[in-house]
Amino acid sequence: MPLDTTRLTDAQWIDGVVAQMLALDEGLGDDDVREFVTDLAARPSWRSMPPEEAASKAVHDLEPPGGD
């Protein structure tokens, strides 16, 4: 059963995505990643993803997030 990401607070989701992104790419800086992920959290298509999926997608698409 997929994770219901709506049960996570925004802070929990952001923390999860940041942790996963830093684990996937050790060259990333925590502050920059946190700012990037905070922006993602405001976008429904990103926020609906489990943190692990969002982190993987973000690391592979390190473009600034586009509009929803």
The per-residue DSSP string of 12-38 comes to: HHHHHHHHHHHHH-TTS-HHHHHHHHH
Residue 2 DSSP symbol: -
Tokens, residue 37: 């992920």
What per-residue confidence (pLDDT) applies to 53? 96
20-48 pLDDT tens trace = 999 999 888 889 899 999 999 999 999 99
Q: Answer whether 40's CB lies under 8 Å from 16's CB.
A: no
Give the Cα-Cα-Cα angle 14, 46, 48 (nearest 5 degrees): 90
pTM for the complete prediction? 0.81
Tokens, residue 7: 């049960």
45-55 pLDDT tens trace = 999 999 999 99
